[in-house]
Structure 1
Amino acid sequence: MPYVEVNERKLHYADSHPQGAPAGGLTFICIHGLGSSQNYYFPILPYLTGKHRCITFDTYGSGRSPYTGHEQFIETIAADAVGVLDKLKVGKAVVVGHSLGGTTVSHLAAQFPDRVLAAVAIGPVHPTPSNVPIFEKRIQVVSESGMEPMADTIPNQATGSRATPLQKAFIRELIMGQNSMGYASLCRAVIAARPPNYAAVKAPFLIIAGDEDKSAPLDGCKHILENICSKDKKLEILPGVGHWQCIEASDHVGQLIADFAGTIGA
């Protein structure tokens, strides 16, 4: 399995085109959310990999990237994504992020504008103090009982009315595959998160939201859209979809991102 060493972290990744993006194509780097892994993106990759290079990776302490005790923050996840691009010799990329990863792409676009061609935020979470007790409770639960309580509740609570049993089973498996200490460290990153400098974001920006998403409500997505300073910004809302958009509505999400890619100059 391919790994890269970035910022004293060993990160597992996949690369659809290791030799570089196809002629005329773009490079994407995809950052998953809490309790997930790079596999979250695989249902939408067929819409992109025919024309574009797609790099997915397990963030530190998630999936197959081992947790070794380092604390992490939104800023360190963003720095790790840049480190992956450096290791794979990619100058600029379209950054895609889900949930916590959606918050991260705003930080990336604000802090590393020379590395970001465009950004796609899927169910991005706008940090607010109301998130703190939720994630403090999650830390307590997984510290005492492991990942199973999360896996038994989140697939039903965080999906929309269109979600199928198979989709919920996929989400459950993603959650069960987490290291509980790594998961807790990401919960602490959520608690410590502050709103990105939205005003510094100038790259083309697409937000994809589920209209039944309780984890990243539409009000937060609209706030992000209003404060992003890109001249090319758009919010797409998926009916009947909750917080796991790439799994619940892969065809719709994949096509939206493919269409968005067609508007971006390399």
Structure 2
Amino acid sequence: MPYITVNQKRLNYADSHPGGAPAGGLTFVFIHGLGSSQNYFFAILPHLTATHRCVTIDTYGSGRSRFTGLDQNIGSIANDAVKLMDALKISSAVVVGHSMGGTTALHLASQYSERVVAVVAIGPVHPTASTGQIFEKRIQVVSEDGMEPMADKIPGTATGSHSTPLQKAFIRELILGQDPAGYISLCRVVSTATAPDYAAIKVPLLVIAGDEDKSAPLDGCKHIISRVSSSTKVLEVLSGVGHWHCIEAGDEVGKLIASFTRAHT
């Protein structure tokens, strides 16, 4: 997997078609959530890569994109994605984000509308005051005890009733693989985040929610859908699924994204 340097950050990414999207296909850019990496999306990529270019990124401070102490926020993560698109000569893309990455994808669509063909927000977090309090507590735990308390807790509490032991093991490994300093930096991103300018979003929007998601509850997803200006906006709710949608229900998510973009782009 190659690296690219943008905004003084060395980011790891994967590109299914480095030479450009296949004829008639689209380019997708994927932004993962807190405690995760680009590998979160790999279960859904087989539904897309036969006909589309898929670029997955390790957000700064996550996965293989090493944290070097730079401050960041939702806006800077969105700008990192745009600069990576510039470097890879991607003029526009379908932007797919999960959780914090979903919030980032919505921000990107509101601020860089000319670069976005459509948005897929998977379990997007709508920032509230209570969200900030939750992640401030998480910062304290990780500062004192590292990633293990998160790895022991999150796979059980943030997944749905259909989640398997293997899926929970993968989530645990994703979390254990995080650099605590990078994770804390991204917790601060979430705790200080403000809502994107939803009204500025006019491109087609697909929101995918889990009916058992406690981290990005359905009410928040409905709030987002109700406030975007897109003439095409779809909410899909997955039964028995928690917050790790692409791991818990990869085939369902992949099919929904493929179907939505085929119909609306």
TM-score of the aligned structures, taking structure 2 as reference length: 0.99
CA–CA distance in structure 1, aligned partners of residues 222 and 56 of structure 2: 27
Residue 240 of structure 1, CA deviation: 0.3
Residue 261 of structure 1, CA deviation: 1.6
Q: For residue 239 of structure 2, what is the aligned residue in structure 1?
A: 239
Instruction: Output aligned runs, 1:65-144, within 5 Å.
Output: 65-144=65-144
Give the RMSD, CA atoms, in angstroms. 0.6
CA–CA distance in structure 2, aligned partners of residues 110 and 163 of structure 1: 33
Q: For residue 5 of structure 2, what is the aligned residue in structure 1?
A: 5
CA–CA distance in structure 2, aligned partners of residues 36 and 46 of structure 1: 19
Residue 192 of structure 1, CA deviation: 1.0
Instruction: Output aligned runs, 1:54-69, within 5 Å.
Output: 54-69=54-69
Q: For residue 15 of structure 2, what is the aligned residue in structure 1?
A: 15
Q: For residue 198 of structure 1, what is the aligned residue in structure 2?
A: 198
Q: For residue 50 of structure 2, what is the aligned residue in structure 1?
A: 50
Could you report, residue by residue, the CA deviation over 1:87-110 in whole angstroms, capped at 9, with x for unpaired residues? 100000000000000001110110
Q: For residue 152 of structure 1, what is the aligned residue in structure 2?
A: 152
Could you report, residue by residue, the CA deviation over 1:43-93 in whole angstroms, capped at 9, with x for unpaired residues? 000000001000001000000000000011000000001011011000000
Q: For residue 174 of structure 1, what is the aligned residue in structure 2?
A: 174
Q: For residue 26 of structure 2, what is the aligned residue in structure 1?
A: 26
User: What is the SS of the residue equivalent to 2:104?
Assistant: helix
CA–CA distance in structure 1, aligned partners of residues 118 and 132 of structure 2: 30
Could you report, residue by residue, the CA deviation over 1:12-59 in whole angstroms, capped at 9, with x for unpaired residues? 000000000000000000000000000000000000000100000100
CA–CA distance in structure 1, aligned partners of residues 117 and 125 of structure 2: 21
Residue 260 of structure 1, CA deviation: 1.1
Residue 116 of structure 1, CA deviation: 0.2
Q: For residue 210 of structure 1, what is the aligned residue in structure 2?
A: 210
Residue 264 of structure 1, CA deviation: 3.6
Could you report, residue by residue, the CA deviation over 1:237-259 in whole angstroms, capped at 9, with x for unpaired residues? 00000000000000100000010
User: What is the SS of the residue equivalent to 2:153?
Assistant: helix
CA–CA distance in structure 2, aligned partners of residues 115 and 133 of structure 1: 33
Residue 263 of structure 1, CA deviation: 1.9
User: What is the SS of the residue equivalent to 1:236?
Assistant: strand
CA–CA distance in structure 2, aligned partners of residues 30 and 261 of structure 1: 14
What amino acid is aligned across from residue 205 of structure 1 in structure 2? L
Residue 120 of structure 1, CA deviation: 0.1
CA–CA distance in structure 2, aligned partners of residues 13 and 87 of structure 1: 12
CA–CA distance in structure 2, aligned partners of residues 246 and 128 of structure 1: 24
CA–CA distance in structure 2, aligned partners of residues 230 and 157 of structure 1: 33
User: What is the SS of the residue equivalent to 1:130?
Assistant: helix
What amino acid is aligned across from residue 17 of structure 2 in structure 1? H
CA–CA distance in structure 1, aligned partners of residues 119 and 56 of structure 2: 15
Segments ≥4 residues shifted beyond 4 Å: none
Q: For residue 257 of structure 2, what is the aligned residue in structure 1?
A: 257
User: What is the SS of the residue equivalent to 1:220?
Assistant: helix
Residue 203 of structure 1, CA deviation: 0.5
